Amino acid sequence: AVRMTQSPSSFSASTGDRVTITCRASQGISNYLAWYQQKPGKAPKLLIYAASTLQTGVPSRFSGSGSGTDFTLTINCLQSEDFASYYCQQYQSYPQTFGLGTKVEIK
């Protein structure tokens, strides 16, 4: 199975910051990568698919980039509602696999 490694596993940031989360695949997955946001006690929410395509209704401060093995999720001007956990997921190779997540906490 393709292993997805996210970094960092957690970090603290302030409202208004620009933050970047990275996700590395153990083998090339082209652009078959999605990002999800999960808040405590809630289901994951799709943010980005195909590495850089924003899901309908997701604020434009979220963006994704990358191809092959290295990917990033960037949040510009962090808002209070963005403090959550974020997961990457590859869907190029069976079985689809997730990263272990990155928790963004309030500084």
Partner 1 sequence: EVQLVESGGGLVQPGRSLRLSCAGSGFTFGDYGMHWVRQAPGKGLEWVSGINWNSRTIGYADSVKGRFTISRDNAKSSLFLQMNSLRAEDTALYYCAKGRLNGMTYFDYWGQGILVTVSS
Which residues form the interface with partner 1 (CB under 8 A)?
32, 34, 36, 42-46, 49, 55, 87, 89, 91-101
Please check whether residue 89 is in contact with residue 34, taking contact to mean a CB–CB distance below 8 angstroms.
yes
Of 42 and 81, which CB lies nearer to partner 1 in the complex structure?
42
Of 17 and 72, which CB lies nearer to partner 1 in the complex structure?
72
DSSP-derived letter for residue 31 is: T
Of 13 and 58, which CB lies nearer to partner 1 in the complex structure?
58
For residue 64, the SS3 value is strand
Of 77 and 105, which CB lies nearer to partner 1 in the complex structure?
105
CB of 14 to partner 1, least distance (A): 26
CB of 69 to partner 1, least distance (A): 17
Helix %, strand %, coil % of the chain (to 5): 5, 50, 50
CB of 75 to partner 1, least distance (A): 19
- Sequence letter at residue 61: R
Taking CA atoms, 67 is separated from 40, 49, 99, in Å, by 30, 12, 16
